[in-house]
Amino acid sequence: MFIRLVGVFEVRDDAGRDCTPRGSKARAILAMLCQTPDRLRARRWLEGRLWSDRGAELASGSLRQALMEIRKAFGDASDKLITDRDMAQLTDVVTDLEQDREGCLQALQSGREFLEGSDIVDAAFIDWLREERVRVDLHLGMSRPGPSQMPMPFLIRLGGLPSGHGASVGKALADSIGRMVGEFAHVDLFGAGGTAVPLDLPTGGLSLHVEGTASQDHVHLLVSLNVTNTKLTIWSQRAAVPLAEADIFGKGELPPLVFQAADAALAHFPRVPDRESGPRRANALIAGALTEMFSYDSERLREADRMLVQAQDYAEPGRIFAWRCLVRQIMFVERTESDFARLVDEADEFSRKALEMSKGNPLVLALVSQARVMVDENPEVGTVLARDAVALSPCNAFAHWARAGALIRIGDNDGALLAARQGAQIAARTAHVHWWEALSGLAALRGGDHVSAIGHYEAAHSRAPSFRAAMRHLLFLYLAVGERDKAARVYRALLRVEPDFTLDRIVNEPDYPAVTLRRSGLLDQYGPELARL
């Protein structure tokens, strides 16, 4: 008996009669048996690949029906399928991959596929088919584009979910995480509410799995992020959402979960070898640049910018220009460069390019908004961009960060504090939460609440000990509440990272990044005490 696996699936007996089963799962069973050296598979294994979403009893019954279909199609050759209660096996069968290797290679090169036209949607089978196609390519010496040139796939998979509103919540969460990852990284999204999963999905990338149950008026969700190739789990989180909650992304557990998942995805992208290129390389460089830029060290900030310049060679540069704009803002605020005019000009240039190229990416809107506010001191434009960022992506903590910064500059201290705290809550379990804590401190200081300001700045300083903005404010806030020992410790820490720091610079240099301190009156009241520290 002959079975064709490359191109249109076909079964013919020794007399040349067509014995091809009509059902796609019956054909898949034959293909899976053919692709094992002894043509033997356990029933449970077959059930797990073709009926993974059914209970054991239903899966077993479906397999029996498919095996009966194969025997009926084989007719007089039905004895070539041997089964018992545990196993299924083919005998006396040859495939085109064994009989005509050169012909199979030519067919693949002309655009045909292994098990072409399969319409089986079971995720476990799709995984098997994808991996088997790679094995066939390797076996035949088929040359395809290297993985470094391919897009970075981000695959969304839904496991068991409760019916009704519970299923809607799970799907909405999965799609929200997918969109957020798409804001941060150069990925192609597949699955759930997005693009259908192709059988020739590029290897590599990450997979998101969402499953849950309904209990006591809540849907309990388990979300995990995995490396697609190795199945290694790199991040997971649980959440409980009230089924009666109308706005599930307005508050509660889901907004932090969405942002944390995207942050974990970006942080995981490896630093790939220099010989690789494409979106995978760009993602790795961006992830590395974020680590460098949040060090607040002058040379590491320059290294972050060099990495982002490299990333522009490998992917669409819109969001990369936005990250470079953030680097300029950090350099400006942290005073790690002396040519402030250059920083302003470059921040303006990168902002313009990012907006022109990004097609409304909410992350880009947020990052550019902050540059307009902090570097250009243009809160009007920053407010508009931040408003749009929040509307488009309410789970993106950077959008709330941008909104808080803009509201501070237009004098809405209560609104700024609310936005900053909302961003801090969303970003609480990420490495960069100190940005939102510092903005909360700034808004509290603007509103005259020194105790709250100290709490937020202490949280920022503890998470990022080299963050100068937090230390500058804590220095004077500690003096304001009589904590001279703490003020002295912060002063020494500040001088280690900013040796030329002086009160005179804050007071007399208009471009020194301490507008709120100058307006607060703390410099006039407690400046003289600085000399006694």
Q: How far apart are CA 38 and CA 157, in angstroms?
A: 32
Find out whether 436 and 402 touch, Cβ atoms under 8 Å.
no
The predicted model gives 177-192 an average pLDDT of 89
Q: How far apart are CA 335 and CA 467, in angstroms?
A: 11
Find out whether 382 and 373 touch, Cβ atoms under 8 Å.
yes
Query: Is the predicted pLDDT of residue 134 greater than 80, yes or no?
Result: no
Residue 88's DSSP bridge partners are 41, 83
Find out whether 406 and 373 touch, Cβ atoms under 8 Å.
yes
* Residue 219 host element (H or E): strand 218-227
Q: What is the pLDDT of residues 205-256, one digit of tens each?
A: 889 999 999 888 889 999 999 988 778 899 999 998 887 776 677 778 899 9
Q: What is the pLDDT of residue 42?
A: 92
Q: What is the 3-state secondary structure (H, E, C) of 112-164?
A: CCECCCCCCCCHHHHHHHHHHHHHHHHHHCCCCCCHHHCCCEEEEEECCCCCC
Q: Domain 2-140, CATH 1.10.10.60 — does that match?
A: no
The predicted model gives 13-21 an average pLDDT of 93
Cα 299–chain centre separation: 27
Find out whether 401 and 423 touch, Cβ atoms under 8 Å.
yes
Q: What is the pLDDT of residues 384-426, one digit of tens each?
A: 999 999 999 999 999 999 999 899 888 898 999 999 999 999 9
Query: Is the predicted pLDDT of residue 527 greater than 70, yes or no?
Result: yes
Q: What does pLDDT average to over the chain?
A: 88
Q: How far apart are CA 427 and CA 374, in angstroms?
A: 21
Between the two ends of the chain, the Cα-to-Cα distance in Å is 92
Q: What is the pLDDT of residue 246?
A: 62
- Report the SS3 class of residue 241: strand
C-alpha dihedral, 81 to 58 to 192 to 290, nearest 10°: -80
Supply 85's token pair. Answer: 């209660």
Find out whether 461 and 468 touch, Cβ atoms under 8 Å.
no
Q: What is the pLDDT of residue 277?
A: 65
Q: What is the pLDDT of residues 49-76, one digit of tens each?
A: 999 878 888 999 999 999 999 999 999 9
Query: Is the predicted pLDDT of residue 119 greater than 60, yes or no?
Result: yes
Q: What is the pLDDT of residues 270-312, one digit of tens each?
A: 544 444 567 888 888 998 898 888 877 889 899 999 999 988 8
Q: How far apart are CA 264 and CA 449, in angstroms?
A: 34
Name the H helices within 15-75.
24-34, 43-50, 56-74
Q: What is the pLDDT of residue 518?
A: 86
The predicted model gives 11-34 an average pLDDT of 94
Find out whether 350 and 325 touch, Cβ atoms under 8 Å.
yes
Q: Which of the pair, 77 or 148, is modelled with greater confidence?
A: 77
Q: What is the pLDDT of residues 424-449, one digit of tens each?
A: 999 998 888 998 998 899 899 988 99
Query: Is the predicted pLDDT of residue 371 greater than 80, yes or no?
Result: yes
Q: How far apart are CA 11 and CA 376, in angstroms?
A: 71
Residue 114's DSSP bridge partners are 6
Q: What is the pLDDT of residues 306-324, one digit of tens each?
A: 999 988 888 889 999 999 9
Query: Is the predicted pLDDT of residue 47 greater than 90, yes or no?
Result: yes
The predicted model gives 472-500 an average pLDDT of 93
Query: Is the predicted pLDDT of residue 488 greater than 50, yes or no?
Result: yes
Q: What is the pLDDT of residue 148?
A: 46
Query: Is the predicted pLDDT of residue 121 greater than 60, yes or no?
Result: yes
The predicted model gives 314-339 an average pLDDT of 89
Q: Which of the pair, 123 or 408, is modelled with greater confidence?
A: 408
Q: What is the pLDDT of residue 362?
A: 95
CA distances from 126 to 6, 51, 69, 161, 451 (A): 16, 12, 22, 20, 57
Q: How far apart are CA 293 and CA 432, in angstroms?
A: 11
Residue 18 carries which DSSP code? B
Q: How far apart are CA 201 and CA 199, in angstroms?
A: 6
The predicted model gives 260-265 an average pLDDT of 92
Q: What is the pLDDT of residue 348?
A: 93
C-alpha dihedral, 112 to 118 to 119 to 124, nearest 10°: -120
What percent of the chain is predicted at pLDDT more than 70?
A: 96
Least confident segment among 89-93, 149-153, 230-234, 513-517: 149-153
526, with CB counted inside 10 A (0-12, 13-18, 19+), is: middle
* Residue 226 host element (H or E): strand 218-227
Query: Is the predicted pLDDT of residue 127 greater than 80, yes or no?
Result: no
Q: What is the pLDDT of residue 147?
A: 44
Q: What is the pLDDT of residue 183?
A: 93
Residue 12's DSSP bridge partners are 2, 18
Nearest to 408, CA basis, from 364, 453, 365: 453
Q: pLDDT band for position 194 (50/70/90)?
A: low
Q: pLDDT band for position 358 (50/70/90)?
A: confident
CA distances from 29 to 20, 63, 123, 409, 477 (A): 12, 9, 15, 66, 72
170, with CB counted inside 10 A (0-12, 13-18, 19+), is: buried
Q: What is the pLDDT of residue 151?
A: 63
Query: Is the predicted pLDDT of residue 513 greater than 80, yes or no?
Result: no
Q: What is the pLDDT of residue 193?
A: 74
In one letter, which amino acid is 13? D
Q: How far apart are CA 442 and CA 448, in angstroms?
A: 10
Q: What is the pLDDT of residue 314?
A: 84
Residue 360 carries which DSSP code? S
Find out whether 441 and 460 touch, Cβ atoms under 8 Å.
yes
Q: What is the pLDDT of residue 412?
A: 92
